[in-house]
Chains A and B, each alone.
Chain A
Amino acid sequence: MALESEANAPATGPVVAPMAGRIVLGASCTIHEAQQMRAQLLAQAELPGPYEIDGSAVQQVDTAGVQLVVAFALDCLERNIAYAWKGRSAALDDAIRVLGVGALLESPV
């Protein structure tokens, strides 16, 4: 599962209802989960910001997963909504570094 709400604590559990302000990325954020991850990020974007993104549980990530987070971040930038990273796993950090998208994932505020 790509994305979870804080309310559903287990790292691989599905999102039942997005929790305002908190985005928890699941253990796997790859192309296999990309459609679902996008739907959940869109649902999250419906809720008022600022947001807190927790990527500390991410174990598997690929370009599709990172691209979605970048798109979400760019939307936030566009809407002038701040977000902050609560945590990023080593796998996620490494993917962000290798893909060179670090600067795009810095909160506008």
Chain B
Amino acid sequence: MTLDLAQFHDTFFAESFEALDSMENALLKLSAGDADFELINTIFRVAHSIKGGAATFGFSEVASFTHTLETLLDQLRGGKRRVDATLVDTLLRSGDLMRAMLLATQQKQPLDKTRVAALHAEIELILATPGDSPTTTVAAPPANAAQVPQAPSPVQLSPEETRSGWRIHFIPGPKLLRHGNDPLRLLRELTTLAPCDVRVDAKWIPPLSELDPEECRLSWRIEVNGPVQESAIKAVFDWVEGECDLKLEAFGPAAETSEMMPAPKIPPPVEEVAAAVAPPAIESAPAVEASLAPKNNAASTQAAASAAAAALPSAAAGDGGSIRVSIEKIDELLNSVGELVITQSVLSQLAAPLEGHDAEALRNALGQLERHMRNLQESVMRVRMLPISFVFNRFPRLVRDLGQRLGKKIELRLTGDSTELDKTVLEKIGDPLVHLVRNAIDHGIETPEVRLAAGKAAHGVIELSAYHKGGNVIVEVSDDGGGLKRERILAKARERGLVGADEELSEERVFNLIFAPGFSTADVVSDVSGRGVGMDVVKRNINELGGHVQIHSTPGQGSMVRIRLPLTLAILDGQLARVGSEVYVVPIVSIVETIQVRAEQVNSLASRAQVFRLRDDYLPIVRLYELFGIEPQYTDLLDGLLMIVEADGKRVGLFVDELMSQQQVVIKSLETNFRPVVGLAGATMLGDGRVALILDIPGVISRFQAQETRRSTAQQAA
């Protein structure tokens, strides 16, 4: 029988990636000086388990690399080698490499063998140095190289032979220059790491008449001559990843030594490794079976494979009682609960007019059912909730690496990382937060020299915090840097015609300009650009989640971006409003207030549009019956109600016939069940079985604006 081990691959990869996350967290704690045995043990267990699993599944390159890493970690665990910053850096890069190797294996892509060989050699060299001496890196001094055991020649090496460094082949992609990435800046940064020998290749430059001057046709071969960490080189090219062809090759004692070293020890055969990583309780059975009945290999391998996948330490250490459930199953469950809520609501309405003793008992029982239903709904919702630490956890590494690269000292503070959010919201908030944190590091926090000159501490602080407020989750990204440059933003906006020459704006509106499409952050506050995602995308992503974003900034003291997010995308707190025979659900989060209109508050404009005076502001009036083409009960503003709603900093008055109850509604996607409609976020079923449409307030405003534009154009034409 042939056993298909591939059925375990998904579990192995998913758990390996989670395990690598915990390894990285432990390493970052180690780098912060929090060196304890348990942390080292955690890191060791990750490497050990991944090695075992990889060997079992036949991912020999992953197993081989991890085996070498495990040997090094074993020395740390046994106290034979001490932890220092250089070693932590090597281990962090090893984690990155393992992740890249696993990802490539999962996606059936080729491995970056040069990168693997270079780091493998680096670790081998460390292993070859005496354990009680400080750890050595690829840039080890010649004396250490000479101490490498099994080196074929103990003779004194010449200076040329002991020269170490990196050979880089850098071929810019066609769009590199257009994206604001300048090889001149990259090469200049390289020269700050060590003396460089730069050789340009101009053979691809066409005649001037055929040259597209915004396309880089030069390429370079660079030798970085000195003891430089691979991570430092990669950091230079970090932001052009994917926009260039980059090859790195170590040379000198480290690289040569790795060739002189015996081949990396190949991990033991599958069964042996699997048995080694399997928990003791099930370890003996397959092993015994394998020895007694060789034909039963499939069974033992299956047990070993399951054990290998199961042996990975979970990201959330100590959660022994958890199981892995697909999100689809939870969504099905949530959907069923939503249907039950509707049915319960229908029953309550049917029972309402009944009379007599039995009717009272029925209503009591239905009341109890409603409470249980609400508990059930909340319990299922909680299953989808995950702590925001799942997103926050990526930031210690990001801040450390980017801070180092930019020569800034930054302390990251995380608060409220146990605050829970719906998984879908959590997945979509990650990238905008990364952009905001990178912005804060790059543009917000000043260099230590500038900070000291301004009377600040050399260390900048970036704080990420999350908390619940009024049924929403608030996430704040703040820094104690230089703050936004109001005048510069305003000048740039005037230059681009976003703001009139004489127009005066409030501070909030000025800061909001940085969210305007095409208003590049790089143009505003920094010379760094070309990262593909701008602040406009950040805002759009947050708005798509039903969230809002605000900026506060004080010159010289820093900035804070506050994001308000819904707890979940599956249910919504809504205000029901009737227009004619239709019922609409207005998200409560968008409602500012509701008022009864007085005649003197309404002004009609030449274009037939009407505005409503609310204190010192004039708001457009949006008649929902006109917008959606339905028959209303009232057309006179004095008869109905005006709901003041707000989205993207714009306020309008929604004219409705009457307000009904407030309730939580289960959102059904229009896109999935019908088709997307501008101004509608979805639909829901009411207790009486009617379908109510859920308004998307930004969409309502843009639909209204489009309608007004068409009307005004038609009037002009007439």
Interfacial residues, chain A to chain B (CB-CB below 8 A)? 31, 34-35, 37-38, 41-42, 45, 61-64, 66-68, 70-72, 74-75, 78, 95, 98-101, 104
For A45, the chain B residues whose CB sits under 8 A away are 208
Indicate whether B157 reaches chain A with its CB closer than 8 angstroms: no
* Interface window among B52-60, B214-222, B249-257, B312-320: B214-222
Interfacial residues, chain B to chain A (CB-CB below 8 A)? 177-178, 182-185, 187-188, 191, 198-200, 202, 205-209, 211, 213-214, 216-218, 220
**Known pairs A35-B214, A64-B177; A99 contacts B187 (CB<8 A):** yes
Q: Is the CB of A42 within 8 A of B208?
A: yes
Cβ 8 A contact of B216, one of A61, A64, A104: A64
For A101, the chain B residues whose CB sits under 8 A away are 200, 202, 218
Q: Is the CB of A100 within 8 A of B209?
A: no
Q: Is the CB of B205 within 8 A of A74?
A: yes
Q: Is the CB of A66 within 8 A of B202?
A: no
| A-B contacts besides A98-B191, A104-B200, 5 pairs, CB < 8 Å | A34-B214, A42-B209, A68-B208, A71-B211, A78-B207
Q: How far is the CA of A37 from the CA of B208 in the complex (A)?
A: 11
Q: Is the CB of A67 within 8 A of B205?
A: yes
Q: Is the CB of B214 within 8 A of A70?
A: no
Q: Is the CB of B213 within 8 A of A98?
A: no
Q: Is the CB of B218 within 8 A of A63?
A: yes
- List of 8 A-B pairs having minimum Cβ-Cβ separation, nearest first: A100-B198, A34-B213, A100-B200, A71-B208, A38-B213, A63-B183, A63-B184, A62-B182
Q: Is the CB of A72 within 8 A of B208?
A: yes
For B184, the chain A residues whose CB sits under 8 A away are 61-63, 66, 95, 98-99
**Known pairs A98-B184, A101-B200; A70 contacts B205 (CB<8 A):** yes
For A71, the chain B residues whose CB sits under 8 A away are 205-208, 211
Q: Is the CB of A63 within 8 A of B216?
A: yes
A73 to chain B, nearest CB (A): 9
For A70, the chain B residues whose CB sits under 8 A away are 202, 205, 218
Cβ 8 A contact of A67, one of B199, B216, B220: B216
**Known pairs A34-B214, A63-B184; A104 contacts B207 (CB<8 A):** no
Considering the complex, give the chain A residue whose CB is closest to the CB of B183: A63
Q: Is the CB of A98 within 8 A of B216?
A: no
Cβ 8 A contact of A100, one of B182, B199, B208, B216: B199
Considering the complex, give the chain A residue whose CB is closest to the CB of B198: A100
Q: How far is the CA of A31 from the CA of B208 in the complex (A)?
A: 15
Q: Is the CB of B208 within 8 A of A41?
A: yes
Q: Is the CB of B217 within 8 A of A67?
A: yes
7 residue pairs A–B, Cβ–Cβ below 8 Å:
A42-B209, A64-B177, A64-B213, A71-B205, A98-B191, A98-B198, A99-B198
Cβ 8 A contact of B202, one of A31, A61, A62, A74: A74
Q: How far is the CA of A37 from the CA of B177 in the complex (A)?
A: 16
For B207, the chain A residues whose CB sits under 8 A away are 71, 75, 78
Q: How far is the CA of A98 from the CA of B220 in the complex (A)?
A: 11
For B191, the chain A residues whose CB sits under 8 A away are 98
For B218, the chain A residues whose CB sits under 8 A away are 63, 67, 70, 99, 101
Cβ 8 A contact of A63, one of B177, B206, B209, B211: B177
For A95, the chain B residues whose CB sits under 8 A away are 184
Q: How far is the CA of A74 from the CA of B208 in the complex (A)?
A: 9
Q: How far is the CA of A98 from the CA of B184 in the complex (A)?
A: 7
Q: Is the CB of B182 within 8 A of A63?
A: yes
A100 to chain B, nearest CB (A): 3
Q: How far is the CA of A98 from the CA of B183 in the complex (A)?
A: 10
Q: Which of B199, B202, B217 has the most CB of A within 10 A?
A: B202
For A100, the chain B residues whose CB sits under 8 A away are 187, 198-200, 220
Considering the complex, give the chain B residue whose CB is closest to the CB of A44: B208
Q: Is the CB of B213 within 8 A of A37?
A: yes
Q: How far is the CA of A42 from the CA of B206 in the complex (A)?
A: 13
Q: How far is the CA of A72 from the CA of B213 in the complex (A)?
A: 12
Q: Which of A38, A64, A78, A104 has the most CB of B within 10 A?
A: A64
A55 to chain B, nearest CB (A): 15
For B202, the chain A residues whose CB sits under 8 A away are 70, 74, 101, 104
Q: How far is the CA of A41 from the CA of B217 in the complex (A)?
A: 18
Q: How far is the CA of A104 from the CA of B200 in the complex (A)?
A: 9
For A64, the chain B residues whose CB sits under 8 A away are 177, 182, 213-214, 216
Considering the complex, give the chain A residue whose CB is closest to the CB of B220: A100
For A99, the chain B residues whose CB sits under 8 A away are 183-184, 187, 198, 200, 218, 220
Q: How far is the CA of A37 from the CA of B438 in the complex (A)?
A: 34
For A61, the chain B residues whose CB sits under 8 A away are 184
For A63, the chain B residues whose CB sits under 8 A away are 177, 182-184, 216, 218
Q: How far is the CA of A96 from the CA of B342 in the complex (A)?
A: 73
Q: Is the CB of A31 within 8 A of B188?
A: no
**Known pairs A100-B200, A101-B202; A68 contacts B214 (CB<8 A):** no
For B178, the chain A residues whose CB sits under 8 A away are 31
For B185, the chain A residues whose CB sits under 8 A away are 62
A35 to chain B, nearest CB (A): 6
